[in-house]
Chains A and B, each alone.
Chain A
Amino acid sequence: MQILYLSLALFLLLNLGAGMWRVLRGPSAADRMLAAQLFGTTAVGMLLLLAQAYDNNALRDVALVFALLAAVTAVAFVRRTWPEPESKHDTD
């Protein structure tokens, strides 16, 4: 089973590498942020698989922290760093 866990973790890592293309390409900041969100989720999946493969509980805690931070990152992005056109403030 350990081979299966490790190969699936590697497969998820390859997915993550492919997703990097979207980060480089854009075109908008939101697209890059979406790719970063997918990286977060993929990393959680990989950490859980590695934790199972190596029987290492600490990695599950790392995955938990990743899951917690994913929401915070995106909210910070939308509220703070995503540039907003100044002219349109009538709709909210």
Chain B
Amino acid sequence: MTLTDYLSAVLLFAGAFFFLAGTLGLLRFPDVYTRLHALTKADNVGLGLIVAGLLVQAETWAGAGKLILIWLLVLLAGASVANLIAHGALRRGIRVWKQ
């Protein structure tokens, strides 16, 4: 394994960890708003780190650009979805969780 491979592996493992954290949060958190928080971490940081890990290995500029484009699309989707669902849940009178 070269240095690039090690860097890639570290980034990929970090990304997988964020996906695990996102799934755990989605399963364990008490209401829609807190689950939204878990989901966006997995979306933005988890996929971001996985894309970064694969970006290190990319052979062509076009391939790297496509990876970045995918990540940007998921970022855009994640941000708008989080906003829409949180707003929709508030409008439908879903209570915010209080201990």
Could you tell me which A residues sit within 8 Å of B by CB distance? 1, 4-5, 8, 11-12, 15-16, 18-19, 21-22, 28, 30-31, 33-35, 37-38, 41-42, 44-45, 48-49, 52, 57, 60, 63-64, 67-68, 70-71, 74-75, 78, 82, 84-85, 88, 91-92
Contacts and interface: CB of A to CB of B under 8 A. Distances in A.
A44 B13 CA distance: 16
> Interface of chain A, helix or strand or loop or mixed?
helix
Contact of A44 (B57, B74, B88): B74
A1 B53 CA distance: 12
A30 B88 contact: yes
B85 interface: yes
B98 interface: no
Contacts of A22: 26-27, 35
Q: Which 6 A-B pairs have the closest CB atoms?
A: A71-B77, A67-B73, A74-B81, A15-B23, A70-B77, A78-B84
B84 to A, nearest CB: 5
Contacts, number: 131
A22 B34 CA distance: 14
Interface string B71-89: 0011011101100110011
A21 B27 contact: yes
Residue with the greatest number of chain B CB neighbours at <10 A, chosen from A38, A63, A71, A91? A38
Chain B interface category by residue count: 35 or more
A60 B67 contact: yes
Interface of B: 1, 5, 8-9, 12-13, 15-16, 19-20, 22-23, 26-27, 32, 35-36, 39, 42-43, 46-47, 50-51, 54, 57, 63, 66-67, 69-70, 73-74, 76-78, 80-81, 84-85, 88-89, 91-94
B54 A52 contact: yes
